A and B are shown apart, each in its own frame.
Chain A
Amino acid sequence: MTSRRTFIKAGLLGGLVLGAGGVWYAASREQAPAGRLTRSARSMFQAITPVMLAGMLGEGSGRIERVVDGVERAVAGLSAAAQSELADLFGLLGFYPVRKLLTGIGDWRLATPADIEASLSGWRFHHYALLQGAYAAMHDLVLGAWYAQPESWEAIAYPGPPEVR
């Protein structure tokens, strides 16, 4: 479990890295084809999805991939400005030193659900608007991508749209 204290420290250090490490980070940043998530953003969403949707996602096969595909479609539908802001955010979180500092997570695939949950909770109430915004973006993207899919509706007793013709 990452403690609140670590987050406060990470917040301060994170600010320094974000301020001073921009060039280094920009040079190493991974690019993805238009409309697609980068490989590191995909692995981040693969890790975050089952945690964000704990207690709802269930065991169905391929569900996580379908949510991540939905996130990818949702991002591709945003304004160019929002897409570029998200690309910056995903780039930062895909950048090992920043990710390690802000979340304590080295590799998304090796992180435990408890670590990820602690990261999300930390961002949610962080005093840095950047991280609060990161949490809000993950929240809306992952939950929106899941509840857009008809397979999510039975669990919430939503019958789907009626027939009109």
Chain B
Amino acid sequence: MTIRDPIREGLAAGWKVLDASLIESPRTLEADVVIVGTGAGGGIAAEIMTAAGFDVILVEEGPLRSTHDFRMLEAEAYPQLYQESAARKTRDKAINILQGRCVGGSTTVNWASSFRTPAATLAFWRERYGLTEYTPEALQPWFEMVERRLGIGPWERAPNMNNALLRSGATALGIPVGEIRRNVRDCWNLGYCGMGCPTGAKQSMLVTTIPTALGRGATLIHHLRAQRLLSAGARIDALECQPIQADGIHPRQTAVTLRARHFVLAAGAIGTPALLLRSNLPDPYSLTGRRTFLHPTVIAAGQFAKAVHGHAGAPQSLYSDHFLEQYPIDGPLGFKLEVPPLHPVLFSTTLQGFAAEHAEAMRGFAHTHAQLALLRDGFHPESHGGRVELRADGTPVLDYPLNEPIWEGARRALLTMAEIQFAAGAIRVLPVHEQCRGYANWGEAKEGIARLPMKPLLTRVVSAHVMGGAAMSASAETGLTSPDGSLRHVDNVSVFDGSVFPTSIGSNPQLSIYAITARNASILTSRMTGRPAPPLA
């Protein structure tokens, strides 16, 4: 079977793609629409707006790597495809954030899990943020459109052992488990989605909407960081950009200026608020970068007598929402249970301890099944999330204080995962916590986890889902953006990414970003053209 690489084919066919690390002299480019970011939001917006005939420039801070470049090696994938080499951290370093930084954004490196926005989340948005049009019924056509476009459907193959163990443990305890839909076509079931899909099966923006937009004449400029929006009165005139050196890290001095009728911000829920903060736009209620959510995630590793091979096969195919439904949505934090793929670098650096303690756990690598509990932040009255701030050099850092409601949920989640893992037959369970050496049975775990101090840097907390910071709301006091994603207080800027979520989603967010962007980019397109927006391919 021949593996196609639509990016290489397009480059050979003469697509307009510029590498800003090579630009020799300052330049100014002009288009109808400039889109900052090429992930879930930028990709969908690019396809819809080029279909309507707009001349579009796409700006990407990261590099352009495509199907044939992806060699399934952590040593290459993390530095090339992730923000800060997959070691991005919150200000106090207590949370490690996995976020893509490459053409295709996080869609190039995510694990393909596709969930519609939960009805309970939408109900909360309608009630608290006046997003009255965000009902499951009203969004259904948008979900159906992007699901068709991206091949989102049930996973037809058997789950790998790592996922199957979540089901067997949960089922033994009477906890319902569901099947995850995935955005793949002709998937080889390899398990390396997180390092860039080497077969082009994952329907990321890199192989779908971006090739379509570039085929229609859009321009892509990579290695280019959007620095500042320049305003003239209530209109944004231009976007000042800074080329990045080939190393992907250090800025170059050659300025690039982009002019457009409309600017779409889709740089992700850390990048977009950071660009707004650097631009110093009107923000009378001081909302920019506030209420940024992460689904703070805790981890437990279970050792099994049989081999698990958590590196192989579709990384996420089963989940449980049972613990999201236990309490009212604004009560004690609920959590979603999933499993992570296990690869040597990510696993060894996540695992606590060193020397003999660590070596012993690593020798059990092939027999390890791990679970994740993603805490649903942003609903509990004391769950305010974090705040995006700027460092002296203008780069963003997220300050996310872990407070009592999070820790209470984290402890409950560690207990739950240990109980499920023992019910699935684990011979040892190791919650990822610096003071934990593992437990041999559920009784021991129950007693031990109850006593673990829940503190930053002791309890391992990670995140792969950054949301919020430019929330939509019917009210200017609680929403930096309007319910259609347009930025308040200026005339010609829209935010089309996870930043517009007023809370976390309570599920892997990619499909929420796709559908809500499809909706809002279509509203914008029809406002700019006076005609209904064309649907996705």
A binds B: yes
User: Do A140 and B87 touch across chains, with their CB atoms under 8 A apart?
Assistant: yes
Instruction: Return the contact of B87 from the options A51, A82, A125, A157 (Cβ within 8 A).
Output: A82
Of the listed stretches A1-9, A12-20, A143-151, chain B binds: A143-151
Please list 6 pairs of residues, one from A and one from B, whose beta carbons are closer than 8 Å in the complex, sorted by A's number: A53-B359, A81-B397, A129-B457, A144-B348, A147-B345, A147-B362
Tell me the B81-101 residues at the A interface (CB within 8 Å). 83-85, 87-89, 92-93
User: Do A156 and B365 touch across chains, with their CB atoms under 8 A apart?
Assistant: yes
Provide the bound-state CA to CA distance between A107 and B311, in Å. 41
Shortest Cβ gap from A151 to chain B (Å): 11
Of the listed stretches B123-131, B350-358, B485-493, chain A binds: B350-358
Provide the bound-state CA to CA distance between A153 and B347, in Å. 13
Specify which chain A residues have a CB less than 8 angstroms from the CB of B362 in the assembled complex: 56, 147, 155-156
Q: A136 in the interface, Cβ–Cβ < 8 Å?
A: yes
User: Do B249 and A125 touch across chains, with their CB atoms under 8 A apart?
Assistant: no
Chain A residues with a Cβ under 8 A of chain B: 35, 51-56, 70, 73-74, 76-83, 117, 120, 124-125, 129, 132-133, 136, 139-140, 142-144, 146-149, 152-153, 155-158, 161-162, 164-165
Chain B interface residue count, CB cutoff 8 Å, equals 51
Chain B residues with a Cβ under 8 A of chain A: 3, 71-75, 78-79, 83-85, 87-89, 92-93, 188, 190, 192, 198-199, 247-250, 307, 311, 343-345, 347-349, 354-356, 358-360, 362-363, 365-366, 391, 393, 395, 397, 434-435, 456-457
Q: Which residue from chain A places its CB closest to the CB of B397 in the assembled complex?
A: A81
From known contacts A129-B92, A140-B349, infer whether A79 and B366 are also in contact, taking CB-CB under 8 Å: no
Specify which chain B residues have a CB less than 8 angstroms from the CB of A149 in the assembled complex: 75
Given A52-B358, A149-B75; 4 other pairs, CB 8 A cutoff: A77-B248, A79-B84, A156-B362, A164-B188
Provide the bound-state CA to CA distance between A155 and B362, in Å. 8
Instruction: Return the contact of A147 from the options B250, B344, B391, B395 (Cβ within 8 A).
Output: B344
What is the predominant secondary structure among interface residues of chain A facing chain B? helix
From known contacts A143-B348, A148-B344, A157-B365, infer whether A77 and B359 are also in contact, taking CB-CB under 8 Å: no
Specify which chain B residues have a CB less than 8 angstroms from the CB of A81 in the assembled complex: 391, 393, 395, 397
Shortest Cβ gap from A87 to chain B (Å): 14
Q: Which residue from chain B places its CB closest to the CB of A139 in the assembled complex?
A: B354
From known contacts A53-B355, A147-B344, infer whether A78 and B85 are also in contact, taking CB-CB under 8 Å: yes
Specify which chain B residues have a CB less than 8 angstroms from the CB of A161 in the assembled complex: 71-73, 190, 192
Provide the bound-state CA to CA distance between A83 and B248, in Å. 13
Provide the bound-state CA to CA distance between A51 and B365, in Å. 20
Provide the bound-state CA to CA distance between A133 and B345, in Å. 19
Q: Which residue from chain A places its CB closest to the CB of B307 in the assembled complex?
A: A157
User: Do B356 and A156 touch across chains, with their CB atoms under 8 A apart?
Assistant: no
User: Do B84 and A78 touch across chains, with their CB atoms under 8 A apart?
Assistant: yes
Specify which chain B residues have a CB less than 8 angstroms from the CB of A142 in the assembled complex: 354
Shortest Cβ gap from A40 to chain B (Å): 21
User: Do A52 and B349 touch across chains, with their CB atoms under 8 A apart?
Assistant: no
Provide the bound-state CA to CA distance between A139 and B351, in Å. 10
Interface centre among B3, B72, B359 (most CB of A within 10 A): B359
Specify which chain A residues have a CB less than 8 angstroms from the CB of B456 in the assembled complex: 129
Provide the bound-state CA to CA distance between A146 and B307, in Å. 23
Provide the bound-state CA to CA distance between A76 and B249, in Å. 9
Provide the bound-state CA to CA distance between A136 and B92, in Å. 12
Shortest Cβ gap from A16 to chain B (Å): 22
User: Do A153 and B344 touch across chains, with their CB atoms under 8 A apart?
Assistant: yes
Specify which chain B residues have a CB less than 8 angstroms from the CB of A165 in the assembled complex: 3
Instruction: Return the contact of B249 from the options A74, A79, A143 (Cβ within 8 A).
Output: A79
Specify which chain B residues have a CB less than 8 angstroms from the CB of A120 in the assembled complex: 354
Interface centre among A56, A70, A161, A162 (most CB of B within 10 A): A161
Provide the bound-state CA to CA distance between A81 and B92, in Å. 14
From known contacts A53-B359, A140-B349, infer whether A156 and B344 are also in contact, taking CB-CB under 8 Å: yes
User: Do B188 and A148 touch across chains, with their CB atoms under 8 A apart?
Assistant: no
Interface centre among A56, A76, A77 (most CB of B within 10 A): A77
Q: Which residue from chain A places its CB closest to the CB of B248 in the assembled complex?
A: A77
User: Do A133 and B93 touch across chains, with their CB atoms under 8 A apart?
Assistant: yes
Provide the bound-state CA to CA distance between A158 and B367, in Å. 11
From known contacts A148-B75, A157-B366, A161-B192, infer whether A55 and B355 are also in contact, taking CB-CB under 8 Å: yes
Specify which chain B residues have a CB less than 8 angstroms from the CB of A78 in the assembled complex: 84-85, 87, 249
Specify which chain A residues have a CB less than 8 angstroms from the CB of B344 in the assembled complex: 147-148, 152-153, 156, 158
Provide the bound-state CA to CA distance between A139 and B345, in Å. 12
User: Do A80 and B74 touch across chains, with their CB atoms under 8 A apart?
Assistant: no
Shortest Cβ gap from B264 to chain A (Å): 25
User: Do A54 and B355 touch across chains, with their CB atoms under 8 A apart?
Assistant: yes
User: Do A54 and B359 touch across chains, with their CB atoms under 8 A apart?
Assistant: yes
